[in-house]
Amino acid sequence: MRLLGIGGSPRRGGNTDLLLAEVLRGASRGAEVKTIILSDLNIAPCQHCDDCLKTGDCTTRDDMQLVYRELEAADRLVLASPLYFMGVTAQLKAMIDRCQALWARKYKLNKPPLGDGRERRGLFISVGGRSKANQFWPALATVKSLFRTLDITYAGELVFPGIDEKGAITKHPDALKQAYLAGQRLVENSPAG
């Protein structure tokens, strides 16, 4: 089993990076894990050229080609992003928008978006500076839409309101433990509960 963790935060070593690392640590006993840090990659925004509607492939050649390959190889996916104006970061949103080619595969060309129909599951991790839980709703809508498009079963989210300062998640009483356990659950054979 292969688990892909995608870090969407531009701030290295921040709260979502710490949570993602714990999820991957928890999953590593049952899966091969790999992390992609989007801020290290060169991913252009979708240009809406519509080339992908004909082929199911994006004609923009940049680091997104690596991301497509890793998405196709993964059995489990973890997306991690802090909230920026109640949405995912620009880095993660650019990656999601470039999945338009995978949307075209599924909805225009009637092909499996990730190349095969095997069972995949995914998890979303996020922190937000405000103390209200509903601040995550816009980001959740985006992530769930992506997972639905990619035929990835949504296994849930791990979201923490009131977390803003770098490293603040380490002061939460059990956030890192929750992340570790979420990673374990994600790679178990039984459906996530």
Chunked into runs of 10 residues, the chain (193 residues) has average pLDDT values of 97 96 95 97 96 95 97 98 96 98 97 95 96 92 98 97 94 96 87 42
- Structural domains in the chain, CATH included, are 2-187 (3.40.50.360)
* pLDDT score at 190: 45
Q: Tokens for 192? A: 């996530």
* pLDDT score at 16: 97
Distance of alpha carbon 132 from alpha carbon 160, whole angstroms: 9
- Residue 119, classed as helix, strand or coil, is coil
* pLDDT score at 133: 80
**Residue 193 CB coordination number (10 Å):** 7
* pLDDT score at 15: 97
Distance of alpha carbon 184 from alpha carbon 25, whole angstroms: 8
**Residue 97 CB coordination number (10 Å):** 18
Largest CA distance in the chain: 51
Distance of alpha carbon 43 from alpha carbon 25, whole angstroms: 27
In 3D, which of 141, 120, 126 has the Cα closest to residue 179? 126
Distance of alpha carbon 170 from alpha carbon 176, whole angstroms: 7
* pLDDT score at 177: 97
